[in-house]
Amino acid sequence: MPAESPPPVADGWRLRARIAEGFTMKPDQLEAHANPEETTGSKVRIVLAALGTLMAVFGIAICVFGLVEFNNAKILIGVCVIVVSTITYILMLTGGG
């Protein structure tokens, strides 16, 4: 028989009472995942998402510097970086990569 979860907290008083009594972990919550590759895959996805976001920010910075310097080549390079990072990010989220 699965363990029942506590009722949802509706007000601040009940939340403070639950915090005061402490949250306890059930034994089934302490067990490791059956497939360790699931956690490794999620960690890789988080790292790839962070890198994709940083690449997009880098592309935006290149575009801004290109606009300030009136340099069309820098603007196009920045746009290409943004497009590639966005495509990579979407493929990673959909599981196609």
Tens-of-pLDDT digits for all 97 residues of the chain? 556 666 655 566 666 666 666 666 555 555 555 666 567 777 877 888 888 889 999 999 999 999 999 999 999 999 999 999 988 888 777 765 5
Q: In terms of pTM, does the model score above 0.85?
A: no
- Report how far residue 16's alpha carbon sits from residue 96's, in angstroms, rounded to the nearest whole number: 44
User: Tokens in use for 42?
Assistant: 């999620």
Q: How many CB atoms lie within 10 A of CB 50?
A: 10
Three-state DSSP state, 97: coil
- Report how far residue 17's alpha carbon sits from residue 75's, in angstroms, rounded to the nearest whole number: 57
Q: Largest alpha-carbon pair distance within the chain? A: 69
φ, ψ of residue 40 to 5 degrees: the values are -65, -40
